[in-house]
Structure formats: structure tokens, C-alpha cells
Amino acid sequence: MATPGISTDVGGPHTFPHKLVTFRTKEMLQDLYVVKDPLGSGRFGKVYLVEEKTTGKKFAAKQCACRRPSQRKDFELEIEVMNELKHPKLLHLFDAFFGKNEVTLVLELVTGGELFDRIADDSFDLTEQLAVTYLRQICEAIAYMHSVNILHLDLKPENILCLSPDHLDLIKIIDFGFARRYTPNTPLKIMFGTPEFVAPEVVNFDPLGKGTDVWSIGVITYVLLSGLSPFMGDDEQETLSNVTSGEIDFDDECFDEVSQEAKDFIHKLLQPKERHRPTCLECLEHPWLYEMPRQNLDSHRKSLAVAIINLKKFVSRRKWMRSINAVRAMNRLQAGVKKQSSDDLTKNMSKLNAK
């Protein structure tokens, strides 16, 4: 059942039918699809453009190594989660195939590129009003996930794509490999993610909740409006320490261009205690997201010039980090681990996605 205020209509540009997916054999992949051009690669594997033989429809096929039973279990969980998600702002799964040592996920083809890449482009004019357009879509998508009791747990710029070059104002949230079911009153603890964007309860190995995703949205908002990372330290240990302290400021000159409503929105999302953060539905009712689009104020349509300059540096740094971590990727912490030294914690928290 849909939650009031959350659209599950999958209409609009690039309409994609929702379907339930089960694993098939690698041989069937070759029978059903024609492999076209490579689209990209990273630590996770490779992505190819594929075409369905019977319809001519094009998809993105992500091929990943899968040699251990634990890896297969992770992919089965990811598929189980994606089978439950039906929302226009969430990436859809179309097919899945197991080979002897790899798994291939056939996914909706999204061609607009990473949101922050597009914003940092010289031809793109970022305004606060446009930022609101993106944040409303993100909050709507995550509100839907939370309505079916699924947490994303890996929200970061790399996992937010633009729909297509013709629809750069529309987004898709991707990568549900870390997503987990949330059962109220049943503690959920994990210790994986990207240090700059994880919530304090992840670092402290405390129970997670829907506010864990809200924290990440708050960090993304801060970066989007300023080009600065609020908790970034000189190394991962310092970054994690900054996250647990939860202290933010708006002292940089780039925030001179940002409204008080936007700063208040960020402040409310970046509360150190998970229970003190608003829900995604409450985020959508905040004056910055709710009233500003209706007011259409000229002051919110000014270019965030300093933020754009900072975003170029931010995007470059993230790309460099992803290339480094493609070589230095660390294993996740085991679910039973409760306490480690700060050095060990930092080492395990450095599982950054290079996509």
C-alpha cells in the first residue's frame, strides 16, 4: 500500500515497468541479450550496454565477481530489496543471471551521469531553487523506501544520477547493495559505508533507524549548496571523529549566498541523535522544500557561484579517492564486531564505493 504523500507512479520520461526478478543462468543471458559497448568499470566490476533481442530495448548490464557463497547471499538480498521497490526515482532491476564466478544484473539504463558531475560542469547554472528540486526528489524516494521499511544506508553523490541529458532536472537513486530491512524494535547494526556521509550511529555501532539515511541527505545538501564536505578531515580517522562530534558551521563565504531556510534544513537533518532527526516526510514539509518552490523568489534563483567552484574541487577529489580505493578496497566489518580500536575502525570504515 502506498503511503500518503508518496508517489509510486512510474510514469514520465523513460517509463520503466516494475517486475519481479529471479536469478537465471548465464547461458540464458547470452540467449536473451546482445552485448554492446562497455559503459564503465570500477572495483565492483564492469558495466555494458546490452540490447534485449526480442524488443530491441537497451539496458545497463553490471557484471560483478561472485566467487563465494557469502557474495551470492549479498546479491540475493540486493535483488530481494529491489523487487520491493517501485518508485520513479529509484533504479529498477530488469533481470539477473548467475555464472560460475560472476553475477550480472540487467538494470534500467540511466544516461544523464552523476548529478554532481553535471552540476560541476561549466555550462550548468546551479541555483538554490534547483537544489530544492533535487532534494525534494531525493526525500520523496527515500520516504518511499522507509514506508516499506527499507533503509538505503549508502546515500552519497555517486549514487545519485541524472535521468538523461535531456532531463538533467530529474534524478535516480542507485546502488542498493548496502540496503537493509528495518524492523522497529529490532536493533539493526552495521559498520560499513563512506566516512564522509555515514551517520554517527554507524561509527559508534549503535542501532540504526530511518534517521540514518536522513543524516546522509543532510550531508549531501551541505555539499550541494557549498561544494564543501562538512566532516572531511585530513585522514579517515579525523573524518570519523568529526562525524561523531556532529559539529557543523556555515562560516565559509559560500554560505553568504545560501538562505537561512536552507541552513535551518541542514541543521535539523544533522542532529547527532538519530531520534532527533526529522523523517523524510517531515523534510518535505520543511519551509525550504515546501514553500520556496511555491514562492518562486528571485533571491533563490541567483547562481551559487562560489559553491560551483568548490564543487569542481569536490568532484575531482572524490574521483581521485575512488581510483585509489579501487586498489585499496577494504572488507566490511563483520556483523558481530562490537568494539575496535580507532585505528581498526578507520581501516574498516574505508570501504568507499568506486563506481
- Looking at residue 127, the DSSP 8-state letter turns out to be B
Q: Let me know the angle formed at the C-alpha of 16 by 12 and 19, rounded to the nearest 5 degrees.
A: 140
- Pairing relationship of beta strands 93-98 and 23-25 according to DSSP bridges: parallel
Report whether 62 belongs to an annotated binding site. Answer: yes
How far lies 51's CA from each of 61, 65, 105, in Å? 10, 22, 13
Backbone angles phi, psi at 120, to 5 degrees: -75, -5
What is the Cα–Cα distance from 232 to 230, expressed in whole angstroms? 6
Active site residue 252: no
- The distance in angstroms from the start CA to the end CA of the chain is 33
95, 122, 125, 154: the catalytic one is 154
CA dihedral (52, 50, 103, 78) in degrees, to 10, reads -80
Grid cell locating 292: 520556496
Backbone angles phi, psi at 17, to 5 degrees: -70, 140
Q: Residue ranges for the binding site for ATP?
A: 62
Catalytic residues, by residue number, are 154
